[in-house]
Amino acid sequence: MNIKITGSGSYIPSIKVTNSDFSEHVFLNEDGSAFNYPNDVIAQKFVEITGIVERRYAQDNQTTSQIATIAAQKAIEDAKLDPETLDYIIFAHNFGDVKKGAIQSDMLPSLASKVKYNLRIKNPKCVAYDMLFGCPGWVESVIQAQAFIKAGMAKKCLVIGAETLSRVVDPHDRDSMIYSDGAGATIIEATNTEGGILSHASASYTYDEANFLFFGKSYNLDHNPDVRYIKMLGRKIYEFALSNVPKAMKECLEAANIDLSQVKKILIHQANEKMDEAIVNRFYKLYKTATPEGIMPMSIHKLGNSSVATVPTLYDLLMKGEIEDQSLNKGDIILFASVGAGMNINAIAYQM
139's enclosing H/E stretch is: helix 137-150
pLDDT of residue 102: 84
Same domain, 45 and 99: yes
pLDDT of residue 171: 92
Residues of the chain with pLDDT under 70: none
pLDDT of residue 23: 85
What is the spatial order of strands in the sheet that 344-351 belongs to? 196-204, 344-351, 333-340, 263-268
Range of the domain at 13: 2-193
CATH number (domain holding residue 72): 3.40.47.10
pLDDT of residue 195: 92
Task: Single out the residue in 173, 193, 213 at which a domain terminates.
Answer: 193
Q: Is 105 exposed, middle or buried (0-12, 13-18, 19+ CB in 10 A)?
A: middle
pLDDT of residue 156: 98
Q: Which of 199, 185, 168, 182 is nearest to 3 (CA)?
A: 199
Same domain, 342 and 255: yes
- Indicate the number of domains in the chain: 2
Same domain, 235 and 139: no
Residue 182 to residue 188: CA distance in whole angstroms? 20
Same domain, 164 and 21: yes
pLDDT of residue 249: 97
Q: Is the overall model pTM greater than 0.75, yes or no?
A: yes
Contacts with 225 (C-beta within 8 Å, 6 or more apart), sequence order: 217, 218
Same domain, 168 and 276: no
Backbone angles phi, psi at 63, to 5 degrees: -115, 170
Same domain, 208 and 183: no
Same domain, 145 and 226: no
Same domain, 170 and 272: no
Task: Single out the residue in 193, 208, 236 at which a domain terminates.
Answer: 193
57's enclosing H/E stretch is: strand 54-57
Q: Give residue-wise pLDDT tens across range 248-264.
A: 999 999 999 999 999 99
∠ CA 328-332-338, rounded to 5°: 75
Same domain, 272 and 248: yes
Task: Single out the residue in 139, 167, 193 at which a domain terminates.
Answer: 193
pLDDT of residue 332: 96
Q: Enter the DSSP assignment of 92.
A: E
Same domain, 213 and 292: yes
Same domain, 231 and 182: no
CA gyration radius for the chain? 20
Same domain, 189 and 221: no
